[in-house]
Amino acid sequence: MQHLIILLLLAGALSACTPSRYKHSQDFTPAPIADIQALKEPVAKAEAKSVMGNTPRYTVLGKEYEVMPNADNYSAEGIASWYGMKFHGHRTSNGEIYDVYQFTAAHKTLPLPSYVRVTRLDTQQSVVVRVNDRGPFHEGRIIDLSYAAAVKLGINKQGTAQVKVDIIHPPKAKTERWVQIGALSDPSAALRLQQTLVEKLQGKWPVAINKPAKDSQRPLHKVRIGPVEEGDDLDQLLLQLKQLKFDQPLLLAQHQL
């Protein structure tokens, strides 16, 4: 019983220390933004799903929502609204801190975080936002914008607008490889091979000699081309090497260097 009382007291203390997401009973407008063009929209980048905010299903006001496992080809039209100082400084659904002056948004089912372009249908104005929160839970609304995003679309005064929301996929990370042509014990031979490759490849790709460590028991001078981006560039290089009778180059990734 004594342990139970202690646990209850601790729970109460933690609860009292946690700031309420609903500190204010009514939402209200932030201070005006002097120059909305000076605020930079986010650039989509590859991010892991947040630990918080991505449960497969959740329930709000008696209604169950199913979170998308991915946002491939997501596009939808509906009403956009915005939320302000009632939530400013408090945690979003994925655990970040909401800032009304950042280009962010809340969505009911997109993975967190996601990047979307929100386009106002009547004016064709658009803004890129990073979705890091859940909502809006009013019927018919599909996205809740930060104040900055609302100002960018010109809906901060009227409150809502018909919009189109399109997912933005971040560019895929470039994968680069190195192509090792030879590992030679004779440094002069390695230098000659390097010069031959530079000449034959017409300087299109860097050719370097990886020198052995001073304490190496088997000192080898490794002649390598790269970095070369995987895909067309690498295919073109390998074809050219084959034409030059370098038939068995060794492909290396960054961690193998």
Q: With a threshold of 0.95, does the pTM exceed it?
A: no
- What six digits make up the tokens of 122? 């009547």
pLDDT in the model for residue 29? 84
Dihedral sign of CA atoms 191, 193, 199, 203 in order: negative
- What six digits make up the tokens of 105? 């948004």
Average pLDDT value for residue range 70-74 = 93
> Quick check: 184 and 111 in contact, CB under 8 A?
no
Higher pLDDT pick, 204 / 173? 204
Residue 18, pLDDT above cutoff 70: no
Superfamily the domain 176-256 falls into: Sporulation related repeat (3.30.70.1070)
Give the tens place of pLDDT for each residue, 207-253.
999 988 887 788 999 999 999 998 899 999 999 999 999 988 999 98
pLDDT in the model for residue 22? 45
For the chain, domain boundaries: 20-167, 176-256
Strands 75-82 and 141-145: parallel
> How many Cβ atoms sit within 10 Å of the Cβ of residue 189?
13
Percent of the chain with pLDDT over 70: 90
Pick the CATH number of 20-167 from 3.30.9.10, 1.20.140.10, 2.40.40.10, 3.40.50.620: 2.40.40.10
> How many Cβ atoms sit within 10 Å of the Cβ of residue 181?
21
pLDDT in the model for residue 98? 96
pLDDT in the model for residue 24? 53
> Mapped to the 3 state alphabet, what secondary structure does the chain carry?
CHHHHHHHHHHHHHHHHCCCCCCCCCCCCCCCCCCHHHCCCCCCCCCCCCCCCCCCEEEECCEEEECCCCCCCCEEEEEEEECCCCCCCCECCCCCECCCCCCEEECCCCCCCEEEEEEECCCCCEEEEEEEECCCCCCCEEEEECHHHHHHHCCCCCCCEEEEEEECCCCCCCCEEEEEEEEECCHHHHHHHHHHHHHHCCCCCCEEEECCCCCCCCCCEEEEEEEEECCHHHHHHHHHHHHCCCCCCEEECHHHC
Separation of alpha carbons 111 and 230, rounded Å: 29
Nearest to 118 by CA among 133, 102, 105: 105
Give the tens place of pLDDT for each residue, 174-200.
789 999 999 999 999 999 999 999 999
Percent of the chain with pLDDT over 90: 75
